[in-house]
Amino acid sequence: IGGPENLPILTDHLDSFDSPAKEELRRKPHLVILGSGWGSVGLLGNLDKNDYDVTVISPINYFLFTPMLPCAAVGTLELKSLMESIRHIVRRVNGHYLEASAEKILFSEKLIKVKVPGTEQRFYVPYDKLVIAVGSTSNTHGVKGLQYSNQLKTAEDAVEIRRKIVTNLEKACLPTTTDEERKKLLSFVICGAGPTGVEVAAEIFDLLNEDLTRSFPKILRQEISIHIIQSRSHILNTYDKAISEYAMKRFEHDQIDLLTNSRVREILPDQVIFDQKTASGEIETKSVPFGLCLWSTGVAQNPLAQQVVKDLAGSQKNKRAIETDAQLRVIGAPLGDVYAIGDCATVRTELAEHCSDYVRKYIIGSQSHKFIRSHHIITDDDIKHVDLTYNELKQLCTQISQMNPLAAEALSLVEELVPKYDPEGRRKLNFDQVKLLMKEVDSKVTSLPATAQRANQQGKYMGKKLSKLRKSSTTLSINDIVDGDIDNAIARPFKYRHLGSLAYIGNSAVFDFAPGYSFVGDIVAVYLWRSIYFAQSVSFRTRVLLFMDWLNRGIFGRDILT
Ligand code: FAD
Ligand code: MG
Ligand code: MG
Ligand code: MG
Ligand code: MG
């Protein structure tokens, strides 16, 4: 069958008739998942079998355990321990996999336009439910010469870095290499001091100190240098302050060259040009030569996510991510068809926009607004004339928090904010004042971090909810559903739980637990770090492989040479 632009529409997969179970699934709703990363895998692991005919579309046919990618880049871990075939993961739900990239979504036709990588071939995949989990790309900050640097996002990136380190070390040992050239080959420059940059720097430092002196000439050790270029005054600046300071001290001690308040201007084939702000506020242009330059200065929007935001421009207001409601539904798409999770998505709280609904719900349940008894229906006019005391506002905020867990922290600030919106000191706010207050609360909601932890939690949430939705036809009565919102009737909104972030710095891990409490340490931290990741790994196979790698590292040192 032909779709728009005469492109074919996929009807059956090549494996749709492979087993009776798969044939049976053809009649079930089609669930399409875009991406094979943390969000998608969290979803696939929590979806009940046989609820949907599942198709995963991603240009990369493996799941990558990104938190340990820096280790793989320097040979502490084998790459294959960090990869899991997406086909293995999809098999659990009898699903299908297509190695391709989504280009555009036709929301009213419920079609995804898909491109085969490396070709100009395109086709359409129909969906009943769609989950977008396409992640993010690296931020270029418009810097020229990035082609001379390395990135660390995929397994191929890790292989490339590992290969370059070995090649440079070998070149440094040749008699034809001059002293100056040797220094350059052994200069590692890392642009960006977020967790990835910091972990790579620490891994390279450990590698050079612990293992290389065994097989390479000792003289190399004196010629090696590691530089971190960071635009802010601190490294790891999204973490707790104690952690950031600990990391800086540690790096100073390890003679890692921290270039703070510095902005990269351009990358040349063998040197980085950057502007550094001095203590007196002047800007000096400097350069540092490199044998390997890693670019890891944060994330930018994935092209498909950009396209979605553009196509739904009337409703989508954020330039950096696809906005969803608290149920993770893409705002502006038909309600309940399309969801977005992980790095490519952000949750919009919209408290001001839905203020009258919230106030309505509040006064229906409240005792003090007696005028309701005489009115059958609360009109918009009633709401406009409502006055809420400070105490009632507090109750209203508690109610709103339950519906918007992500805004709970910001809502708890309302007590401090309220006087600003009550200039006459009536100790009451009228509806317009409440609405303005909510607008400020909206702006105070902190967005979710772009982490594996968040993507995975959202994936799990979606997997469970999608299975519940399938069963809802038998468990829900029509009265349970308000305004056609089935999601709200069957599931609570998504709630993020911060379990701590981890960054590895030179034989000790820094562990950012929860706001106000952090744990910094040496050996204990390393084991904590390892065991947490160990417990998180996806399958028994990768768990065994990781364990073997650690044993190997402990006994034989790293294995960068093979
Ligand atoms: P991803 O996991 O990036 O998955 C996106 C998927 O979508 C990929 O499979 C991609 O191929 C696919 N895709 C892209 N475009 C399309 C398209 N058009 N159509 C279909 N598919 C598409 N987080 C932590 O919490 N802790 C850490 O220690 C940590 N360390 C990290 C270290 C490194 C080196 C890196 C790179 C990241 C690290 N992160 C860490 C961040 C974490 O990996 C991301 O936040 C997480 O991967 C986001 O999950 P996601 O599902 O949104 O996207
Ligand atoms: Mg994903
Ligand atoms: Mg991933
Ligand atoms: Mg994503
Ligand atoms: Mg990612």
Which range, of 290-294, 343-347, 353-357, averages the lowest pLDDT?
A: 353-357
Shortest-distance Cα residue to atom 30 of ligand 1: 67
pLDDT at 89: 92
pLDDT tier, 184 (very low <50, low <70, confident <90, very high otherwise): very high
pLDDT tier, 485 (very low <50, low <70, confident <90, very high otherwise): confident
Domain end, chosen from 377, 411, 444, is at 444
Q: How far is CA 131 from CA 106, 122, 329, 337, in A?
A: 14, 20, 9, 9
Q: Looking at mean pLDDT, say which of 111-125, 252-266, 386-400, 417-431 comes out highest.
A: 111-125
Q: What is the atom index within ligand 1 of the atom nearest the CA of 459?
A: 51
In the predicted structure, residue 371 carries a pLDDT above the cut 60 = no
pLDDT at 518: 64
* 511, part of any domain: no
Residue 34 beta carbon below 6 angstroms from any ligand 1 atom: yes
Instruction: Kindly state whether residues 56 and 106 are assigned to the same domain.
Output: yes
Q: What is the mean pLDDT of the chain?
A: 88
Residue 463 beta carbon below 6 angstroms from any ligand 1 atom: no
Residue 456 beta carbon below 6 angstroms from any ligand 1 atom: no
Instruction: Kindly state whether residues 121 and 161 are assigned to the same domain.
Output: no
Residue 162 beta carbon below 6 angstroms from any ligand 1 atom: no
pLDDT tier, 514 (very low <50, low <70, confident <90, very high otherwise): low
pLDDT, average across residues 114-139: 96
Residue 108 structure tokens: 């009213």
Q: What is the atom index within ligand 1 of the atom nearest the CA of 103?
A: 18
Shortest-distance Cα residue to atom 9 of ligand 1: 36
Q: What is the atom index within ligand 1 of the atom nearest the CA of 345?
A: 52
CATH at residue 103? 3.50.50.60
Shortest-distance Cα residue to atom 4 of ligand 1: 37
Instruction: Kindly state whether residues 403 and 485 are assigned to the same domain.
Output: no
Distance 343 CA to ligand 1 centre (A): 7
Q: Looking at mean pLDDT, say which of 110-114, 222-226, 520-524 comes out highest.
A: 110-114
* 505, part of any domain: no
pLDDT tier, 394 (very low <50, low <70, confident <90, very high otherwise): very high
Residue 379 structure tokens: 């009109």
Residue 449 beta carbon below 6 angstroms from any ligand 1 atom: no
Q: Which ligand lies nearest the alpha carbon of 451?
A: 1
pLDDT at 528: 63
Pocket test for ligand 1, best of 451, 494, 538 (most atoms within 8 A of CB): 451
Residue 153 beta carbon below 6 angstroms from any ligand 1 atom: yes
Q: What does the angle CA 334 – CA 338 – CA 344 come to, to the nearest 5 degrees?
A: 130
Instruction: Kindly state whether residues 340 and 293 are assigned to the same domain.
Output: no
pLDDT tier, 67 (very low <50, low <70, confident <90, very high otherwise): confident
Residue 302 beta carbon below 6 angstroms from any ligand 1 atom: yes
* 218, part of any domain: yes
pLDDT, average across residues 18-32: 93
Torsion of CA 405, 410, 415, 417, to 10 degrees: -150
Q: What is the atom index within ligand 1 of the atom nearest the CA of 40?
A: 51
Instruction: Kindly state whether residues 180 and 276 are assigned to the same domain.
Output: yes
Q: What is the atom index within ligand 1 of the atom nearest the CA of 114?
A: 19
pLDDT at 513: 65
Q: Which of 76, 58, 54, 57 is nearest to 67 (CA)?
A: 76
Distance 319 CA to ligand 3 centre (A): 22
pLDDT tier, 243 (very low <50, low <70, confident <90, very high otherwise): confident
In the predicted structure, residue 177 carries a pLDDT above the cut 90 = yes
In the predicted structure, residue 529 carries a pLDDT above the cut 90 = no
- DSSP string covering 298-357: -EEE-HHHHHHHHHTTTT---SSSEEE-TT-BBTTSPTTTEEE-GGGEEE---TTTTHHH
pLDDT at 1: 62
In the predicted structure, residue 46 carries a pLDDT above the cut 90 = yes
Residue 152 beta carbon below 6 angstroms from any ligand 1 atom: yes
* 376, part of any domain: yes
Instruction: Kindly state whether residues 196 and 115 are assigned to the same domain.
Output: no
Residue 101 beta carbon below 6 angstroms from any ligand 1 atom: yes
* 532, part of any domain: no
Shortest-distance Cα residue to atom 14 of ligand 1: 134
In the predicted structure, residue 559 carries a pLDDT above the cut 70 = no
Instruction: Kindly state whether residues 344 and 368 are assigned to the same domain.
Output: no
Domain count of the fold of the chain? 3
* 557, part of any domain: no
Report the percent of the chain where pLDDT is more than 90: 55
Domain end, chosen from 467, 490, 513, is at 490
Q: Which of 138, 261, 122, 283 is nearest to 197 (CA)?
A: 138
* 276, part of any domain: yes
Q: Which 8-state DSSP code applies to residue 146?
A: G
Higher local confidence (pLDDT), 125 or 204: 125
Q: Which of 294, 274, 297 is nearest to 188 (CA)?
A: 294
Instruction: Kindly state whether residues 34 and 152 are assigned to the same domain.
Output: no
Residue 288 beta carbon below 6 angstroms from any ligand 1 atom: no
Task: Determine contact, residues 372/357, Cβ cutoff 8 Å.
Answer: no
In the predicted structure, residue 205 carries a pLDDT above the cut 90 = no
CATH at residue 154? 3.50.50.100
Shortest-distance Cα residue to atom 2 of ligand 1: 37
Task: Write the pLDDT tens digit of every residue in 68-81.
Answer: 898 889 887 788 88
Pairwise CA distance, residues 38 & 454, whole Å: 9
pLDDT at 520: 63
Residue 194 beta carbon below 6 angstroms from any ligand 1 atom: no
pLDDT tier, 110 (very low <50, low <70, confident <90, very high otherwise): very high
Instruction: Kindly state whether residues 306 and 292 are assigned to the same domain.
Output: no
pLDDT at 254: 81
Task: Write the pLDDT tens digit of every residue in 397-443.
Answer: 999 998 888 899 899 989 889 999 998 889 999 999 999 999 999 88
Task: Write the pLDDT tens digit of every residue in 268-324.
Answer: 999 999 999 988 989 999 999 999 999 999 889 999 999 999 999 999 988 889 999
Question: What would the 3-class secondary structure string for 403-432 be?
Answer: HCHHHHHHHCCHHHHHHHHCCCCCCEEEHH
Distance 153 CA to ligand 3 centre (A): 8
Which range, of 23-37, 45-59, 119-133, 373-387, averages the lowest pLDDT?
A: 373-387
Instruction: Kindly state whether residues 223 and 153 are assigned to the same domain.
Output: yes
Using only C-alpha atoms, the chain has a radius of gyration, in whole angstroms, of 27
pLDDT tier, 537 (very low <50, low <70, confident <90, very high otherwise): low
pLDDT at 233: 87
pLDDT at 78: 82
Instruction: Kindly state whether residues 29 and 42 are assigned to the same domain.
Output: yes
pLDDT at 124: 97
Task: Determine contact, residues 291/170, Cβ cutoff 8 Å.
Answer: no
Instruction: Kindly state whether residues 259 and 237 are assigned to the same domain.
Output: yes
Q: What is the atom index within ligand 1 of the atom nearest the CA of 70?
A: 34
pLDDT at 393: 93
Which range, of 57-71, 161-175, 263-277, 465-479, averages the lowest pLDDT?
A: 465-479
Residue 60 beta carbon below 6 angstroms from any ligand 1 atom: yes
Residues 6+ apart with CB under 8 A from 1: 8, 9, 11
Q: What is the atom index within ligand 1 of the atom nearest the CA of 152?
A: 34
Range of the domain at 282: 146-297
In the predicted structure, residue 460 carries a pLDDT above the cut 90 = yes
Residues 6+ apart with CB under 8 A from 227: 187, 188, 189, 190, 256, 257, 259, 288, 290
* 78, part of any domain: no
Higher local confidence (pLDDT), 336 or 484: 336
